[in-house]
Amino acid sequence: MLMLNNSVVFLPESIKPPAVTDDVANFDLGYILSSDEDQPVDYSVTRKCLCAEKKTKPARVYKKPQSEDVMKDLSQKHFAAETDKKLRWVLHTYNEWSEQRNCNHDQVPITCDLDKFVCIEKHTLCHALCRFVCEICKINGEDYPLKTIYEIIIYVQMLLESHGVFWKFFEDPEFSDLKYTVDNIMKERAMSGLGSYIKQATVLSFEQEEFLWQNRYLGISNPEQLVKILLFLLGIHYALCVGAEHCALHSIGHNSQFCFIFKEGIHHILYTEDLGTKNNSGGLRHKKIQTKTVTIFPGPNRDRCPVRIFTLYHCKLPLKRKCTALYLHPKKSNWQDGVWYKVRALGINQL
Protein backbone atom coordinates (compact mmCIF):
# COMPACT_ATOMS: atom_id res chain seq x y z
CA MET A 1 0.00 0.00 0.00
CA LEU A 2 1.25 3.44 -0.99
CA MET A 3 -0.09 6.98 -0.77
CA LEU A 4 -0.47 8.85 -4.05
CA ASN A 5 -2.35 12.18 -4.36
CA ASN A 6 -4.04 11.67 -1.00
CA SER A 7 -5.39 8.31 -2.10
CA VAL A 8 -4.49 4.81 -1.08
CA VAL A 9 -3.02 2.67 -3.80
CA PHE A 10 -2.91 -1.12 -3.50
CA LEU A 11 -0.32 -3.08 -5.44
CA PRO A 12 -0.55 -6.76 -6.22
CA GLU A 13 1.62 -8.91 -4.00
CA SER A 14 3.48 -10.19 -7.07
CA ILE A 15 4.65 -6.68 -7.91
CA LYS A 16 7.14 -5.14 -5.57
CA PRO A 17 8.80 -1.78 -6.03
CA PRO A 18 12.55 -1.74 -6.41
CA ALA A 19 14.52 -1.43 -3.23
CA VAL A 20 15.53 2.11 -2.36
CA THR A 21 19.27 2.39 -1.86
CA ASP A 22 21.70 5.26 -1.53
CA ASP A 23 22.15 5.34 -5.29
CA VAL A 24 18.39 5.73 -6.00
CA ALA A 25 16.52 8.76 -4.66
CA ASN A 26 13.25 8.24 -2.78
CA PHE A 27 11.40 10.63 -5.07
CA ASP A 28 12.32 8.76 -8.25
CA LEU A 29 11.03 5.24 -7.88
CA GLY A 30 11.36 4.39 -11.55
CA TYR A 31 7.88 2.93 -12.05
CA ILE A 32 4.29 4.15 -12.61
CA LEU A 33 1.77 3.85 -9.80
CA SER A 34 -1.86 3.46 -10.57
CA SER A 35 -4.99 3.62 -8.40
CA ASP A 36 -6.56 0.86 -10.41
CA GLU A 37 -5.71 -2.56 -9.01
CA ASP A 38 -6.61 -4.26 -12.31
CA GLN A 39 -4.17 -2.14 -14.36
CA PRO A 40 -0.70 -3.71 -14.34
CA VAL A 41 2.28 -1.60 -13.56
CA ASP A 42 4.10 -0.49 -16.74
CA TYR A 43 7.88 -0.79 -16.40
CA SER A 44 8.50 0.09 -20.05
CA VAL A 45 8.21 3.82 -19.48
CA THR A 46 11.46 5.59 -20.24
CA ARG A 47 13.05 7.02 -17.16
CA LYS A 48 16.29 8.61 -16.21
CA CYS A 49 18.89 6.04 -15.31
CA LEU A 50 20.47 6.95 -12.02
CA CYS A 51 22.77 3.98 -12.10
CA ALA A 52 24.47 5.00 -15.34
CA GLU A 53 28.04 4.03 -15.70
CA LYS A 54 30.41 6.60 -14.32
CA LYS A 55 32.61 8.31 -16.85
CA THR A 56 36.10 6.98 -16.47
CA LYS A 57 38.94 9.50 -16.62
CA PRO A 58 41.65 8.80 -19.18
CA ALA A 59 44.76 7.31 -17.67
CA ARG A 60 47.59 9.79 -17.20
CA VAL A 61 50.53 9.11 -19.45
CA TYR A 62 53.89 9.19 -17.67
CA LYS A 63 57.37 9.16 -19.08
CA LYS A 64 59.14 5.88 -19.59
CA PRO A 65 61.18 4.59 -16.63
CA GLN A 66 64.65 6.08 -16.44
CA SER A 67 67.73 3.90 -16.44
CA GLU A 68 70.08 3.68 -13.49
CA ASP A 69 72.82 5.47 -15.43
CA VAL A 70 70.54 8.44 -16.08
CA MET A 71 69.43 8.62 -12.44
CA LYS A 72 73.03 8.37 -11.23
CA ASP A 73 74.00 11.26 -13.49
CA LEU A 74 71.06 13.37 -12.28
CA SER A 75 71.86 12.71 -8.63
CA GLN A 76 75.37 14.13 -8.97
CA LYS A 77 76.30 17.79 -8.80
CA HIS A 78 76.95 19.39 -12.17
CA PHE A 79 79.19 22.38 -12.82
CA ALA A 80 79.45 24.93 -15.58
CA ALA A 81 81.71 23.99 -18.47
CA GLU A 82 84.45 26.43 -17.47
CA THR A 83 84.30 25.35 -13.82
CA ASP A 84 84.46 21.69 -14.80
CA LYS A 85 87.51 22.45 -16.92
CA LYS A 86 89.28 24.07 -13.94
CA LEU A 87 88.36 21.17 -11.67
CA ARG A 88 89.95 18.71 -14.06
CA TRP A 89 93.03 20.93 -14.31
CA VAL A 90 93.44 21.04 -10.51
CA LEU A 91 93.03 17.26 -10.25
CA HIS A 92 95.53 16.64 -13.04
CA THR A 93 98.05 19.11 -11.56
CA TYR A 94 97.77 17.60 -8.09
CA ASN A 95 98.28 14.04 -9.35
CA GLU A 96 101.22 15.15 -11.49
CA TRP A 97 102.79 17.01 -8.54
CA SER A 98 102.34 14.13 -6.09
CA GLU A 99 103.81 11.62 -8.55
CA GLN A 100 106.84 13.80 -9.21
CA ARG A 101 107.33 14.51 -5.48
CA ASN A 102 107.15 10.85 -4.53
CA CYS A 103 109.97 10.09 -6.96
CA ASN A 104 112.26 12.13 -4.70
CA HIS A 105 113.07 9.70 -1.90
CA ASP A 106 114.55 12.45 0.27
CA GLN A 107 111.08 13.88 0.91
CA VAL A 108 108.16 12.49 2.88
CA PRO A 109 105.94 10.74 0.31
CA ILE A 110 102.45 12.02 -0.42
CA THR A 111 100.00 9.25 0.39
CA CYS A 112 96.80 11.21 -0.29
CA ASP A 113 95.19 10.28 -3.62
CA LEU A 114 92.39 12.64 -4.64
CA ASP A 115 90.96 10.00 -6.96
CA LYS A 116 90.05 7.88 -3.91
CA PHE A 117 87.57 10.25 -2.34
CA VAL A 118 86.05 7.77 0.11
CA CYS A 119 89.35 6.74 1.67
CA ILE A 120 90.69 10.25 2.31
CA GLU A 121 91.39 11.25 5.92
CA LYS A 122 91.43 14.84 7.08
CA HIS A 123 94.93 14.99 8.53
CA THR A 124 96.39 13.24 5.46
CA LEU A 125 94.65 15.64 3.07
CA CYS A 126 95.68 18.68 5.12
CA HIS A 127 99.31 17.53 5.09
CA ALA A 128 99.25 17.09 1.29
CA LEU A 129 97.46 20.34 0.42
CA CYS A 130 99.76 22.46 2.60
CA ARG A 131 102.75 21.26 0.58
CA PHE A 132 100.84 21.41 -2.69
CA VAL A 133 100.05 25.16 -2.45
CA CYS A 134 103.63 25.90 -1.42
CA GLU A 135 105.33 23.98 -4.22
CA ILE A 136 102.98 24.46 -7.18
CA CYS A 137 104.13 26.88 -9.87
CA LYS A 138 103.70 27.65 -13.55
CA ILE A 139 105.51 25.78 -16.32
CA ASN A 140 108.06 28.61 -16.59
CA GLY A 141 108.75 28.43 -12.85
CA GLU A 142 106.85 31.58 -11.85
CA ASP A 143 104.57 31.63 -8.83
CA TYR A 144 100.80 31.70 -9.21
CA PRO A 145 99.05 34.92 -8.11
CA LEU A 146 96.93 35.24 -4.97
CA LYS A 147 93.62 34.53 -6.63
CA THR A 148 94.85 31.31 -8.21
CA ILE A 149 96.17 29.93 -4.91
CA TYR A 150 92.85 30.57 -3.23
CA GLU A 151 90.88 29.11 -6.16
CA ILE A 152 92.97 25.92 -6.15
CA ILE A 153 91.90 25.14 -2.59
CA ILE A 154 88.28 26.01 -3.34
CA TYR A 155 88.28 23.75 -6.41
CA VAL A 156 89.65 20.86 -4.37
CA GLN A 157 86.84 21.46 -1.88
CA MET A 158 84.26 21.49 -4.70
CA LEU A 159 85.77 18.32 -6.11
CA LEU A 160 85.30 16.56 -2.78
CA GLU A 161 81.73 17.89 -2.41
CA SER A 162 80.80 16.48 -5.81
CA HIS A 163 81.65 13.03 -4.42
CA GLY A 164 79.81 13.42 -1.12
CA VAL A 165 82.70 14.65 1.07
CA PHE A 166 81.58 17.96 2.62
CA TRP A 167 84.60 19.53 4.30
CA LYS A 168 85.10 23.27 4.72
CA PHE A 169 88.83 23.88 4.60
CA PHE A 170 88.74 27.42 5.99
CA GLU A 171 86.19 26.69 8.74
CA ASP A 172 87.06 23.20 10.00
CA PRO A 173 89.58 23.34 12.93
CA GLU A 174 91.24 20.18 11.64
CA PHE A 175 92.32 22.13 8.53
CA SER A 176 93.76 25.07 10.49
CA ASP A 177 97.28 24.34 9.20
CA LEU A 178 96.03 24.63 5.62
CA LYS A 179 94.19 27.85 6.41
CA TYR A 180 97.26 29.56 7.91
CA THR A 181 99.50 28.25 5.12
CA VAL A 182 97.31 29.73 2.41
CA ASP A 183 96.96 32.98 4.35
CA ASN A 184 100.72 33.43 4.75
CA ILE A 185 101.47 32.56 1.12
CA MET A 186 98.93 35.11 -0.08
CA LYS A 187 100.43 37.79 2.20
CA GLU A 188 103.96 37.13 0.97
CA ARG A 189 102.96 37.34 -2.68
CA ALA A 190 100.87 40.44 -2.05
CA MET A 191 103.92 42.18 -0.55
CA SER A 192 105.98 41.22 -3.60
CA GLY A 193 103.31 42.74 -5.86
CA LEU A 194 102.30 39.45 -7.48
CA GLY A 195 98.66 39.50 -8.45
CA SER A 196 98.07 43.14 -7.56
CA TYR A 197 97.33 43.98 -11.21
CA ILE A 198 94.17 42.39 -12.53
CA LYS A 199 94.00 42.16 -16.29
CA GLN A 200 90.79 43.61 -17.70
CA ALA A 201 89.40 44.35 -21.12
CA THR A 202 90.44 47.69 -22.56
CA VAL A 203 87.63 50.23 -22.58
CA LEU A 204 86.77 51.61 -26.01
CA SER A 205 87.06 55.38 -25.85
CA PHE A 206 84.73 57.86 -27.52
CA GLU A 207 87.47 58.89 -29.96
CA GLN A 208 88.08 55.28 -30.98
CA GLU A 209 84.37 54.72 -31.59
CA GLU A 210 84.19 57.85 -33.73
CA PHE A 211 87.17 56.60 -35.73
CA LEU A 212 85.33 53.35 -36.46
CA TRP A 213 82.26 55.23 -37.66
CA GLN A 214 84.16 57.76 -39.76
CA ASN A 215 86.24 55.10 -41.51
CA ARG A 216 83.19 52.91 -42.21
CA TYR A 217 84.23 50.01 -40.04
CA LEU A 218 80.81 50.45 -38.47
CA GLY A 219 77.75 51.29 -40.52
CA ILE A 220 74.60 50.03 -42.17
CA SER A 221 75.45 50.30 -45.87
CA ASN A 222 76.22 46.60 -46.47
CA PRO A 223 75.55 43.23 -44.80
CA GLU A 224 78.94 42.90 -43.12
CA GLN A 225 78.80 46.39 -41.63
CA LEU A 226 75.27 45.88 -40.34
CA VAL A 227 75.99 42.65 -38.48
CA LYS A 228 79.14 44.21 -36.98
CA ILE A 229 77.35 47.28 -35.67
CA LEU A 230 74.56 45.11 -34.27
CA LEU A 231 77.14 42.96 -32.44
CA PHE A 232 78.81 46.12 -31.14
CA LEU A 233 75.60 47.78 -29.91
CA LEU A 234 74.09 44.69 -28.27
CA GLY A 235 77.37 44.00 -26.50
CA ILE A 236 77.31 47.50 -25.00
CA HIS A 237 73.63 47.78 -24.10
CA TYR A 238 73.15 44.22 -22.81
CA ALA A 239 76.64 43.78 -21.28
CA LEU A 240 77.41 40.68 -23.37
CA CYS A 241 81.11 40.07 -22.80
CA VAL A 242 81.99 36.78 -24.46
CA GLY A 243 81.21 35.17 -27.79
CA ALA A 244 79.20 32.37 -26.20
CA GLU A 245 76.65 34.90 -24.92
CA HIS A 246 76.24 36.34 -28.41
CA CYS A 247 75.92 32.86 -29.93
CA ALA A 248 73.08 32.09 -27.53
CA LEU A 249 70.95 34.94 -28.90
CA HIS A 250 67.93 34.00 -31.05
CA SER A 251 65.86 36.24 -33.28
CA ILE A 252 62.76 34.06 -33.77
CA GLY A 253 61.02 31.18 -32.05
CA HIS A 254 59.93 30.53 -28.50
CA ASN A 255 63.52 30.90 -27.26
CA SER A 256 64.01 34.42 -28.62
CA GLN A 257 65.25 36.87 -26.00
CA PHE A 258 63.91 39.97 -27.77
CA CYS A 259 60.49 41.57 -27.73
CA PHE A 260 59.36 44.69 -29.59
CA ILE A 261 57.30 47.08 -27.45
CA PHE A 262 55.34 50.08 -28.72
CA LYS A 263 54.57 52.39 -25.81
CA GLU A 264 53.52 56.04 -25.85
CA GLY A 265 54.29 56.28 -29.55
CA ILE A 266 57.89 55.06 -29.14
CA HIS A 267 59.37 51.71 -30.12
CA HIS A 268 61.44 49.86 -27.52
CA ILE A 269 63.31 46.56 -27.55
CA LEU A 270 63.06 44.43 -24.42
CA TYR A 271 65.79 41.88 -23.80
CA THR A 272 65.21 39.02 -21.33
CA GLU A 273 68.19 36.94 -20.28
CA ASP A 274 67.94 33.19 -20.72
CA LEU A 275 67.91 30.78 -17.82
CA GLY A 276 70.74 28.31 -17.65
CA THR A 277 73.50 30.92 -17.52
CA LYS A 278 76.25 30.95 -14.91
CA ASN A 279 74.58 33.73 -12.91
CA ASN A 280 71.11 32.22 -13.15
CA SER A 281 71.10 28.49 -13.81
CA GLY A 282 67.42 28.09 -12.89
CA GLY A 283 68.20 25.57 -10.14
CA LEU A 284 67.56 25.64 -6.41
CA ARG A 285 70.44 28.00 -5.73
CA HIS A 286 69.10 30.66 -8.10
CA LYS A 287 65.36 30.15 -7.68
CA LYS A 288 64.92 33.56 -5.99
CA ILE A 289 66.97 35.48 -8.53
CA GLN A 290 64.90 37.58 -10.90
CA THR A 291 65.60 37.24 -14.60
CA LYS A 292 67.59 40.14 -15.98
CA THR A 293 65.66 42.37 -18.36
CA VAL A 294 67.06 45.37 -20.24
CA THR A 295 65.15 47.84 -22.40
CA ILE A 296 66.77 49.66 -25.32
CA PHE A 297 65.36 53.09 -26.16
CA PRO A 298 65.78 54.99 -29.44
CA GLY A 299 68.88 57.16 -29.68
CA PRO A 300 69.05 60.81 -30.74
CA ASN A 301 71.24 60.05 -33.77
CA ARG A 302 69.08 58.31 -36.36
CA ASP A 303 72.03 56.70 -38.17
CA ARG A 304 73.30 55.19 -34.91
CA CYS A 305 69.96 54.48 -33.22
CA PRO A 306 70.09 50.92 -31.77
CA VAL A 307 66.35 50.37 -32.22
CA ARG A 308 66.45 51.41 -35.87
CA ILE A 309 69.55 49.30 -36.58
CA PHE A 310 68.02 46.26 -34.87
CA THR A 311 64.79 46.68 -36.87
CA LEU A 312 66.70 47.16 -40.13
CA TYR A 313 68.72 44.01 -39.51
CA HIS A 314 65.54 41.99 -38.97
CA CYS A 315 64.12 43.30 -42.24
CA LYS A 316 67.17 42.02 -44.11
CA LEU A 317 66.91 38.47 -42.77
CA PRO A 318 65.31 35.65 -44.81
CA LEU A 319 61.62 35.32 -44.03
CA LYS A 320 61.45 31.53 -44.18
CA ARG A 321 64.29 30.02 -42.19
CA LYS A 322 64.73 27.21 -39.72
CA CYS A 323 67.85 28.72 -38.18
CA THR A 324 66.77 30.78 -35.15
CA ALA A 325 70.20 32.29 -34.41
CA LEU A 326 70.37 36.08 -34.36
CA TYR A 327 73.67 36.50 -36.20
CA LEU A 328 73.65 35.03 -39.71
CA HIS A 329 76.32 34.85 -42.39
CA PRO A 330 76.33 38.01 -44.56
CA LYS A 331 76.12 37.53 -48.32
CA LYS A 332 79.16 38.50 -50.35
CA SER A 333 77.09 39.12 -53.47
CA ASN A 334 73.48 39.13 -54.73
CA TRP A 335 72.24 41.00 -51.69
CA GLN A 336 70.56 43.78 -53.63
CA ASP A 337 67.29 41.82 -53.63
CA GLY A 338 66.62 42.82 -50.02
CA VAL A 339 67.86 39.63 -48.34
CA TRP A 340 71.33 40.30 -47.02
CA TYR A 341 72.06 37.12 -45.09
CA LYS A 342 72.27 33.38 -45.60
CA VAL A 343 70.34 30.85 -43.54
CA ARG A 344 73.47 29.89 -41.60
CA ALA A 345 74.54 31.00 -38.15
CA LEU A 346 77.80 32.78 -37.48
CA GLY A 347 80.13 30.72 -35.31
CA ILE A 348 81.75 31.84 -32.08
CA ASN A 349 85.16 32.29 -33.72
CA GLN A 350 83.75 34.52 -36.45
CA LEU A 351 81.89 36.62 -33.91
pLDDT in tens, 203-222: 778 888 888 888 888 888 88
279-296 burial, b at 16+ Cβ within 10 Å, e below that, comes to ebeeeeebeeeeeeeeeb
Mean pLDDT of 250-269: 81
pLDDT value of position 4: 46
Length of the chain: 351
Query: What average pLDDT is seen over the chain?
Result: 77
Domains of the chain, by residue range, sit at: 1-53, 80-191, 206-345
pLDDT digits (tens, 9 = 90+) for 134-171: 989 888 888 898 889 999 999 999 988 888 888 999 99
pLDDT digits (tens, 9 = 90+) for 303-314: 888 888 888 888
**Is the pLDDT confidence value at 11 over 50?**
no
pLDDT value of position 22: 45
Mean pLDDT of 5-23: 48
pLDDT digits (tens, 9 = 90+) for 54-69: 456 677 778 888 888 8
Least confident of 46-50, 120-124, 198-202, 258-262: 46-50
Q: Pick the residue with more confidence: 163 or 41?
A: 163
Query: What stretches of 36-85 adopt beta strand conformation (E)?
Result: none
**Total-model pTM:** 0.59
**Is the pLDDT confidence value at 33 over 70?**
no
- β-partners of residue 3 are 8
- β-partners of residue 295 are 270
pLDDT value of position 339: 87
Under 8 Å CB-to-CB from 310, ≥6 apart: which residues? 230, 233, 234, 258, 269, 296
